[in-house]
Chain A
Amino acid sequence: MARRDDDEFAAFAAASAASLRRTAYLICGDWDRAADVAQEALIRMYVAWPRLDRERSLLGYARRTAVRIAIDQARKRSSREVPTLDLVDVTTDDVTSQVTDRVLLMAALADLPPRQRACVVLRYYEDLSVDAVAQTLGCRAGTVKSQTARGLDALRAAYARHGGELRLSDARHETTDASTAEEVHP
């Protein structure tokens, strides 16, 4: 790659690495592994860089790459994952603390199959449309809807078991969530 392209890529990598790591963390549940995913995604970006269309979203391409890597790794690791939290031990009172809430969310996410996890993260963390998620995961929109719905059901059930309630709507996302609810429960 030409030096100018290298500089351009380096700037992109520096700007996007943290964001990619955050998305990867929500899928893999481990910050170190998420950093590895981000790095691998950026290496693949570098290889593809000369032929990438700069008019389209480079971050979108990087995110798609990172999510696919994270899903692949989650599948490889699924047979040896050891739960780090026994949800049965979490009491209703504990759930009120922010830290425990975070642990509950990550444990519930970890219980989802990797593809469902990715659908939930891309829809509700990255705020991607159903079509955009389908493009990212390389599947049909209908699959995204069904996978997201199953994932949300499992998350709600996990929260309910511990006396909590998981809402799809935040005040700032009221409008979006109304359409989301229709999309995930066709």
Chain B
Amino acid sequence: MSTGLRAALQDAVSAPPPYDPDVTAIVDAGVRRSRRRARAAVGAGAAAVVAIAVTAGVVAGLRPPPDPEPAKVVRLDLERAEHVRLDVLATTRAAVVGQPEGPLERAEFEGVTSDGLVLVNRHRNASRALELGLLDPAGGTTDWLPPPGVDNRELQVVDLTPERLVVVTRSRGAYGYEVLVFDRAARTWQRSEVKLPGRVEVHVGPQLALGPDDRLYFGAMTEGQPYPVSWWSAPLTDDSPDLREEPELEGASVAWSDDGMVSADPSGRVVVSGPDEERVVSDQRPADCATPEDFPDMPVGLLLAGDTPVVTYPCRFGRSGVVSRTVIYEDGGRTVVEVHAWARSADGDHVVLASGLPPSLSRPSATPEDDGTFVVDLDGLTVSRIGDAPSQPQSALGAGLVLWTSEEPSGDRQHTRPVFNVARLD
């Protein structure tokens, strides 16, 4: 039998299944992506010139009426999420093997810089010193940074840009935090210590937010008390920073976008406060999401996908259980995306979700939800499952890369160990 290649190719597509592309949906997705691209193009520089008076934030007198009810509510079903297996570019397995300085206890990926490098944190058996490196996931090489000279205690990432790395660790003293800023060009660390008041919760790390005035904001709960979250701020690069109370922010979770300060509180009120106006994105909690009975002021989680607020609400479940509900407020709240999971990280195009609850919400009575790690595509408003539900969830997005954790056996049948993965999303 003899087959002509051209004829065979034409024949292969000669009887396609029915296809009715939804051009309106394509245009809608294009509009959303264009909008995000345009905002991203304004860049971080714009944030610096947005003169935001923090005191005009959450409780300012000017408060226009809320926007009309959301025109569109999209509910994403995790059970129907397509399982996507991404080609992994790098894992911490490789980082642990073959270190010339000797074996490591473990390595962890802490975040992704906006120029596509992975922040690696290596832990040695014989040392408590913090050791960080920048891994190029394409080439597999790690640039180990000069030692910052602090202990390796509960690292939290604040900002990872081509210019600098900003991270925070616990200091030796109670209630103290080391703020570390690495100048990538000069390859030098700047270090300062911030001490929060003694009453704050120390078992759960503080919420951290970088303000446009280069002040670092710390939000913490009061230990053992159902009080609202309280806030303090300190200049990022002062050797001996003055800690300033931020009473106007009490009870809210905050972050800054190009449009101004975004705040979200347990009542479901989400507000964007710019220099000239205050825009209410939401004025109520999602439906069927009552505040937890024991802790009505439990803070919400707040991330920004570009300048889109992504809020994770703790919702009452049964008598004393808690489940997570994430709401993505697209188009200034005109499109509301709801999903039963916890938002772990976000960028202009995606949101990474994990099943379960943040550490601050963990309780024995929490109900297992659809287990897994998921990615929401903000263009198509679709959700995909990229992994299982690890016991040590970690996630980051940056430069088209996604970081997440999975689990594998650790050598005996009883235990597993986390594996940190990085893959390209687009």
Residues of A within 8 A of B (CB): 1, 6, 9-10, 13-14, 17-18, 21-22, 25-26, 31, 35, 38-39, 42-43, 45-47, 49, 72, 75-80, 92, 95-96, 98, 101-102, 105-106, 120-121, 124-125, 127, 152, 155, 159, 163-170, 173
B1 touches A170 (CB 8 A): no
Chain B residue at smallest Cβ distance from A98: B11
Could you say which of B7, B10, B21, B86 contacts A13, with CB atoms under 8 Å apart? B21
A101 touches B3 (CB 8 A): yes
Total contacting residues, chain B, CB less than 8 A: 34
* Contact mask for chain B residues 89-116; partner A; CB cutoff 8 A; 1 contact, 0 none: 0000000000000000000000000000
B11 touches A121 (CB 8 A): no
A124 touches B6 (CB 8 A): yes
Residues of B within 8 A of A77 (CB): 85
Residues of A within 8 A of B5 (CB): 120, 124, 152, 155, 166-168, 170
B30 touches A166 (CB 8 A): no
A95 touches B19 (CB 8 A): no
CA distance A105 to B17 in the complex (A): 18
Residues of B within 8 A of A (CB): 1-13, 16-17, 19, 21, 23-24, 26-27, 29-31, 33-34, 37, 85-87, 379-380, 424, 426
B19 touches A105 (CB 8 A): no
Could you say which of A80, A101, A152, A169 contacts B11, with CB atoms under 8 Å apart? A101
A22 touches B26 (CB 8 A): no
The A interface is mostly helix, strand or loop, or mixed, namely: helix
CA distance A39 to B7 in the complex (A): 27
Question: A46-B30, A79-B85 are contacts. A101–B8 as well, Cβ < 8 Å?
Answer: yes
Residues of B within 8 A of A26 (CB): 9, 12-13
Residues of B within 8 A of A96 (CB): 1
Residues of A within 8 A of B7 (CB): 170
CA distance A45 to B27 in the complex (A): 10
Question: A79-B85, A124-B6, A173-B6 are contacts. A21–B1 as well, Cβ < 8 Å?
Answer: no
CA distance A101 to B27 in the complex (A): 38
CA distance A47 to B34 in the complex (A): 5
CA distance A121 to B34 in the complex (A): 31
The smallest C-beta distance from B306 to any residue of chain A, in angstroms, reads 14
Residues of A within 8 A of B3 (CB): 101, 105, 159, 164-167
Pairs A-B, 3 closest by C-beta atoms: A46-B30, A170-B4, A17-B21
Residue with the highest number of chain A CB atoms closer than 10 Å, among B1, B37, B87: B1
CA distance A101 to B30 in the complex (A): 39
